[in-house]
């Protein structure tokens, strides 16, 4: 599933091409993804200027004067800039038509993505209860420490809860806890403020490295130009179960936490 770095890579690649464009409409080939695509999407977008492409957590937000288009890539979604006359394939569900003859094509084989219209801004139900952005100034170890008090939940599951902090999905939670030397199975409420300060800095570093390297391509994610993300070459824990730990040489162990695959070093992480 695309996580925060993959969505931010997508935003950074698309924004220069989309911002300021006058749209000429939309073509909807599949009316229902995870939820119904707005039936009036074509008329809502036709003749409107896309002012800004933003991101909140894993949501892309296309801002117009009269509202906002929310896009979520789900588990297998991607966005590509293509000529409007390029033939669509079976999983190309929606085209957003640009005035320069190109389209923003939404492809989603598993159909877990979202395209929704929002006139409520931050009050939208999918956005209003989200935690802080991990790359924003209001995110810190103290935020994690305060929110973790009394929590018996495993710290990895705590980090992956979008009410705690947005966008730290399975890959980046695994990598951040490994680099911070924190056992992902530990109760979130039993970790000190000092260690949360370290963890917050590590989370920022890991996410920024992933963005700089184009995200992580494991199976479904590709950049808008079709290229791979290369952070997978920098993974120190995720996907390396049974391999030697790069720090101590011990064998990395795999376990499922909260239904998600987790890899950690039982010697270095405590």
Binding residues: 91, 110, 151
Is 241 tagged catalytic? no
Q: What is the DSSP letter of 264?
A: E
Q: Which residue has the tokens 């190109």?
A: 102
In angstroms, the CA 27 to CA 115 distance is: 12
From the number of C-beta atoms within 10 Å of its C-beta (0-12, 13-18, 19+), residue 155 rates as: buried
Catalytic residue among 3, 6, 8, 175: 3
Catalytic residue among 19, 209, 260, 266: 260
Is 32 tagged catalytic? no
Q: Hey, what are 50's tokens?
A: 């896309």
In angstroms, the CA 78 to CA 13 distance is: 12
List CB contacts of 14: < 8 A, sequence separation 6 or more. 53, 79, 81, 104, 224
Greatest Cα pair distance, the chain, in angstroms, is: 60
Residue 62 forms beta bridges with which residues? 53, 69
Secondary structure of 36-74 in the HEC alphabet? ECCCCHHHHHCCCECCEEEEECCEEEEEECCEEEEEECC
Sign of CA dihedral 49, 33, 103, 14: positive
In angstroms, the CA 201 to CA 100 distance is: 42
Going by the annotation, the residues of the binding site for DNA are 91, 110, 151
Among 7, 21, 104, CA closest to 56: 7
In angstroms, the CA 22 to CA 96 distance is: 11
Is 260 tagged catalytic? yes
Catalytic residue among 44, 55, 58, 179: 58
Which residues are part of the catalytic machinery? 2-3, 58, 260
């Amino acid at each position: 599933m695309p996580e925060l770095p993959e969505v931010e890579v997508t935003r950074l690649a698309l924004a220069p091409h989309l911002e300021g464009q006058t749209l000429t409409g939309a073509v909807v080939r599949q009316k229902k993804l995870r939820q119904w695509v707005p039936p009036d999407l074509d008329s809502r977008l036709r003749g409107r200027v896309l002012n800004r492409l933003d991101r909140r957590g894993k949501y892309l937000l296309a801002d117009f004067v009269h509202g906002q288009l929310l896009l979520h890539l789900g588990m297998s979604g991607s966005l590509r800039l293509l000529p409007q006359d390029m033939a669509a394939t079976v999983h190309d569900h929606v085209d957003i038509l640009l005035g320069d003859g190109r389209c923003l094509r939404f492809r989603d084989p598993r159909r877990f993505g979202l395209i929704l219209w929002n006139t409520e801004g931050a009050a939208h139900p999918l956005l209003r209860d989200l935690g802080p952005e991990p790359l924003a100034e209001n995110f810190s170890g103290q935020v994690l420490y305060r929110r973790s008090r009394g929590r018996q939940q495993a710290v990895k599951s705590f980090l992956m809860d979008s009410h705690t902090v947005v966008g730290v999905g399975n890959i980046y939670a695994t990598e951040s806890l490994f680099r911070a030397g924190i056992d992902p199975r530990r109760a979130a409420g039993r970790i000190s403020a000092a260690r949360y300060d370290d963890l917050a800095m590590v989370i920022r570093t890991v996410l920024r490295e992933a963005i700089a390297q184009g995200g992580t391509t494991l199976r479904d994610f590709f950049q808008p130009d079709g290229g791979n993300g290369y952070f997978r070459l920098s993974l120190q824990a995720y996907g390396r179960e049974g391999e030697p730990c790069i720090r101590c040489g011990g064998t990395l162990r795999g376990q499922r936490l909260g239904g998600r695959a987790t890899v950690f070093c039982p010697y270095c992480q405590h």
